[in-house]
Amino acid sequence: MGSSTSYFLAFLLGAAIPSACVVVLLPSLCSRAGVGVIPAQQLARNATQATDRGVNELVTLQPATPPEDDDLPGLLRRAAMEEGSTVIMTFTNEAWTAPGSLLDLFLESFRIGVNTQPLLKHLIIVAVDTKAFELCRHVHPLCYSLDVGGGGGGMNLTTEQAFMSKDYLEMMWSRNKFQTRVLELGFGFIFTDVDIVWFRNPLLRIPVGADIAISSDQFYGEDPYDMNKNANGGLVYARPIARTMAFFKGWYEARTAYAGMNEQAVFDKVKYDLSLRHGVSVHFVDTAYFGGFCHPKKDFRQLCTFHGNCLPGLRIKLDRLRGVLDEWKQFKITGKQGDQNNSTRK
């Protein structure tokens, strides 16, 4: 059994424990990083809401019947962590997949992180254009070609997408729809943007009581279940259970009511209603663990991932993330933190 699946076994064994249990953490992977107890009152409220609505908290989804010509179910089975039916996913296009672009940096971070290289066998790279799919197959064995927009509509997703442009929004919502489909097929996932570098397994910072865990641009306060925080869809975990799938379906359907908004902005609009309606426990992960340039609390003793958010343009993302990865390499050698201002200033 691979090391990555062994780590995840501990995570899943905890999933059957009542929801007031503590966060599962393997200290060897997130050393010296303190983890608090899941707020019992919040989890009790969620459990009560789920029971009141007749939702069985531990019922897993029945896999949907896929089209005969669809190879996604087989790909998910090959990538899934043995005990948990959970995969890691990212989206990419030609610009991000080209040699020397974000995908190379992303994969490099897995190879040099703390016990992250074994996780590559669980990573599915979803390509939204033909060239990205071809490039992906040269560097990774688990690639999936997604027909975004049915191949029509005059979209061009091969190039860098301007934030909030029409094609950008289409790609973000296609990503959300794809995530829902993965849940329908009976698989959980941790989704990561390709402009995120990995230092440690982020699953180790997600509590067993969370149905959905999501990163945020800024994290204030101490309660990760306090939803008065703005979501960042760059890193999302979802358990493969019925109420989580219902949340994702409602989230996707809400796009029509909030035309012109991207998926994470709509998440913030509907998170209260959908979590209460379906009894879903939503956990916001501290930026001390899921870091980024928006709120650069960068301590390599704790960080699991670091996001190239709040940076305009592909070139600056590459340059600044390369700087962070170089700092990480130096930290692994010396055990000392460098000058954070060199790579985290805006």
Instruction: Determine how many CB atoms are found less than 10 A away from the CB of residue 213.
Output: 23
As a whole number, mean pLDDT of residues 59-74 equals 57
For helices 72-79 and 166-184, angle between their N-to-C axes, nearest 10 degrees: 70
| Residue found by looking up tokens 């809401």 in the block | 49
Convert the pLDDT of each residue in 253-303 to its tens digit. Answer: 999 999 888 888 999 999 999 999 999 999 999 999 999 999 877 899 999
**What is the model's pLDDT at position 170?**
79
77 neighbors 93 (Cβ within 8 angstroms): no
Domains in the chain: ranges and CATH: 3-344 (3.90.550.10)
> Residue 182 pLDDT > 80, yes or no?
yes
**What is the model's pLDDT at position 336?**
78
> Residue 234 pLDDT > 80, yes or no?
yes
Highest mean pLDDT among 8-12, 260-264, 308-312: 308-312
**What is the model's pLDDT at position 262?**
87
By the 10 Å C-beta count (0-12 exposed, 13-18 middle, 19+ buried), 34 is classed as: exposed
**What is the model's pLDDT at position 120?**
98
**Choice between 29 and 90, residue whose per-residue pLDDT is larger:** 90
287 neighbors 297 (Cβ within 8 angstroms): yes
By the 10 Å C-beta count (0-12 exposed, 13-18 middle, 19+ buried), 273 is classed as: exposed
Q: Is the dihedral of CA 299, 300, 304, 305 positive or negative?
A: positive
Convert the pLDDT of each residue in 100-159 to its tens digit. Answer: 999 999 999 999 999 999 999 999 999 999 999 999 999 999 999 998 754 444 455 555
Nearest Cα to Cα of residue 219 among 211, 209, 229, 204: 229
Helix, strand, coil percentages in the chain from 3-state DSSP, rounded to 5: 45, 15, 45
> Residue 80 pLDDT > 90, yes or no?
yes
As a whole number, mean pLDDT of residues 229-238 equals 94
Instruction: Determine how many CB atoms are found less than 10 A away from the CB of residue 184.
Output: 18
**What is the distance between the alpha carbons of residues 175 and 181, in angstroms, rounded to a whole number?**
10
**Alpha helices, DSSP H, located in the chain:** 3-15, 40-52, 72-79, 94-97, 102-112, 130-139, 166-184, 242-253, 263-278, 314-334, 341-344
Which pLDDT band, with edges at 50, 70 and 90, does 50 fall under?
Answer: very low
By the 10 Å C-beta count (0-12 exposed, 13-18 middle, 19+ buried), 151 is classed as: exposed
**What is the model's pLDDT at position 58?**
35
**Choice between 36 and 2, residue whose per-residue pLDDT is larger:** 2
Which pLDDT band, with edges at 50, 70 and 90, does 197 fall under?
Answer: very high
**What is the model's pLDDT at position 269?**
95
Type of residue at 191:
F
**What is the model's pLDDT at position 8?**
45
**Choice between 272 and 37, residue whose per-residue pLDDT is larger:** 272
Q: Average pLDDT over the chain, rounded to whole?
A: 79
Listed in sequence order, the residues at least 6 apart from 44 whose beta carbon sits closer than 8 Å to its beta carbon are 19, 20
**What is the distance between the alpha carbons of residues 291 and 2, in angstroms, rounded to a whole number?**
27
Q: Strand, helix or coil at 122? A: helix
Convert the pLDDT of each residue in 81-103 to its tens digit. Answer: 977 799 999 999 999 999 999 99
